[in-house]
A and B are shown apart, each in its own frame.
Chain A
Amino acid sequence: MRNGDLRSELHPSDLARTATIGARTRPLRAALSALGIMIGIGAMVAVLGLSESSKSELLAQLERLGTNLLTVQAGAGIGRGDAVLPDESIDMVGRIGPVESTAYVINVDANVYRTDLIPEAQTGGIAVMATEPNLLDAVNGTVAVGVFLNDASAGLPAVVLGSVTAQRLGIESLAASPMIWLGEEWFVVVGILESLDLHPNLDRSALIGVGIAESLLDSEDPPTTIYVRAQPEDVVAVANVLPATVNPEFPDQVNVTRPTDTLEVQEAADDTLTALFLGLGAVALLVGGVGIANVMVISVLERRSEIGLRRALGATRKHITYQFLSESILLAGTGGVAGVLLGAGVTAAWASYQGWDTLVPLVAVVGGLVAAVAIGAIAGLYPALRAAKLSPTEALRT
């Protein structure tokens, strides 16, 4: 007697239809329960997307700046007064094998004013530095307007302004051949630099040639900062020998830094923040999952008579389980899809605001959807089993 006559079956497309009943009859409740998942997934995708986009921006920035630049400065010697870099240090650094090029700046004891009528105290916090024409290449700088110092202008009263300096002095273009009052002399502004990401001190300076600094301002100080370009694979080795090379007598008075390191440290801090936000996203997701489980439990209670009807129509316990499980997965999955879109949208908006490339990692998209479906399945399992356990007569009792 056991034959197809006694087989109860539910067509997959009909299962899909029954899974939407809850959302069709209680759309607001369904939307609110999906919202929790959407926020959780959205937060996680946005955090991963923003972190990835900013990381790619950083890599591009490092590429642009070059990670093979080292700066050498005099450190503060303990109990020995101000430490200085020895005059001959530039030549000695140039003799280190893997060093490609060197440049330097010397602090000049002079102030800068827009005109000679400005009171002496209003220095604007601008430093005057003497340097050579090769500085621009060494720090990977670019000129916004005009030109940088060249061999000819380095011996003349010509000055190139850092971006902040230009702003403070109110000089934006060279159309009117502006001049500034620098150390009791008029200097012609020949160029203005673009802002330098890694060298804010140069942004706040006025750069003049070494020759004019010596002749006009009696400046004969030793170099303040030496910029060293090393071959990329030997940067660390060069950094290690630099102190002893620059100052064999007191190597501990020499500070060697790699400016791009600060960016990487900043990025490491960002990573910690990313982990924190991911954790918060996970908590939101968990709360969303609890919300869905809650809604499903209530739904099963409210829909007892529907469950009874379905058993009477021939649904097996499995069909009832599948129905409520799919409904839960549908809710969470919808929230997941909306969350991925939200997260990608937030990433795209912020990245375009920052001028970055938008990067949403595939693992965040796929992971977000998988997580949503998994949460839906876990949240729906208990209510679904409870619905299936209900005896038909109990369910039909009103």
Chain B
Amino acid sequence: MTQVLSLIDVVKEYPMTPPVRALAGVTLSVESGELVAVVGPSGSGKSTMLHVMGTLDRPTSGDVFVAGHRVSQLSDAELSGLRSRHIGFVFQAFHLLVGYSALDNVADGLLYTGIALDERRELAKSALEKVGLANRLGHVTTQLSGGESQRVAIARAILGGPSIILADEPTGNLDSKTSAGIVQLLRDLNREGSTIVVVTHNPEVASAMPREIQLRDGLIASDQSKQLIG
């Protein structure tokens, strides 16, 4: 097993009065092929942790390694490059481009890798098939349901096979039945080899993941792995 992500004593403070310490010294590592849930109440530092993991934000102190790269040694442009090839994001609000087809939204997953559109569309087609939307390629975003939209966003995140996929409350905007479908999809993708970290406040979602990290007041309260059936 190779490490794809590790945080070493990561502290993130926001400069306010008094300073807000969102992460108070977090150390953890994620290995290739893992499916990890990060769970905790709002304000526990979940979102900050996801942003730091995804190199969207730099820690105040401590070290972050993604796909073998030490984040603190990379420039802003290099971090962009890292994100374009190694990290896939799934957001609560889907963040699909309005007026574009599902296929083109997924194809945008590799937009900043310089790969030509035709090739990206080919990859996008098979990614959409993988998330069960083979019959929705040409649908524009407004014609998709919430669950379908999130599947499109997941297809976009897995495009090109990134080292890690980070999902921020992927079921936050969905009803429980649709949520279960998304959780199942994430588990299926994980079984096929994707490394996924899911940040959620929903204990039900977290309990469906083989590894569950509890976050409280910017610190890891527990980190448990379990055997799941099914």
Contact = CB atoms under 8 A, between A and B. Distances in A.
Contacts of A391: 56-57
A13 B116 CA distance: 9
B56 A311 contact: yes
Given A1-B68, A9-B113, A11-B116, A393 B81 contact: no
B95 A393 contact: no
A29 to B, nearest CB: 14
Given A392-B56, A396-B91, A6 B82 contact: yes
Interface stretch (A99-107, A314-322, A335-343): A314-322
Nearest to B120: A14
B54 A312 contact: yes
Contact of B95 (A21, A305, A317, A318): A305
A308 interface: yes
A63 interface: no
A306 B97 contact: yes
Interface in A363-398: 391-393, 396, 398
B113 A8 contact: yes
The winner among A11, A313, A319, A398 for most chain B CB atoms within 10 A is: A313
Interface residues of A, number: 35
Interface string A219-253: 00000000000000000000000000000000000
A303 B51 CA distance: 20
Interface stretch (B70-78, B191-199, B200-208, B220-228): B70-78
Interface in B62-102: 68-70, 73-74, 76-78, 80-87, 89, 91, 93, 95, 97-99
A315 B69 contact: no
A80 interface: no
Interface string A1-45: 110011111110110011001001100000000000000000000
A65 interface: no
A396 B98 CA distance: 16
A308 B97 CA distance: 12
Contacts of A84: none
B134 interface: no
B95 A309 contact: yes
B81 A7 contact: yes
Contacts of B74: 6
Main secondary structure of the interface of A (DSSP, over half): helix
Interface stretch (B27-35, B104-112, B176-184): B104-112
B117 interface: yes
Interface string A288-327: 0000000000000000011011111111111100000000
B114 interface: yes
Nearest to B51: A393
A7 B112 CA distance: 9
B35 to A, nearest CB: 21
Interface in B97-141: 97-99, 108-109, 111-117
Nearest to B116: A11
Nearest to B156: A313
Contact of A9 (B99, B109, B112): B112
Contacts of A310: 111-112
Contacts of A17: 117
A14 B117 contact: yes
Contacts of B111: 10, 14, 18, 310, 313-315
A255 B209 CA distance: 108
Contacts of A393: 51, 56-57
The winner among B81, B85, B111 for most chain A CB atoms within 10 A is: B111
B57 A314 contact: no
Nearest to A305: B95
Contacts of A309: 89, 91, 95
A9 B83 contact: no
Interface of A: 1-2, 5-11, 13-14, 17-18, 21, 24-25, 305-306, 308-319, 391-393, 396, 398
24 contacts: A1-B70, A5-B82, A5-B86, A6-B69, A6-B78, A6-B81, A6-B85, A8-B83, A8-B84, A11-B114, A11-B116, A13-B117, A21-B97, A25-B98, A25-B99, A305-B93, A306-B95, A312-B54, A312-B56, A312-B87, A318-B77, A392-B51, A393-B51, A393-B56
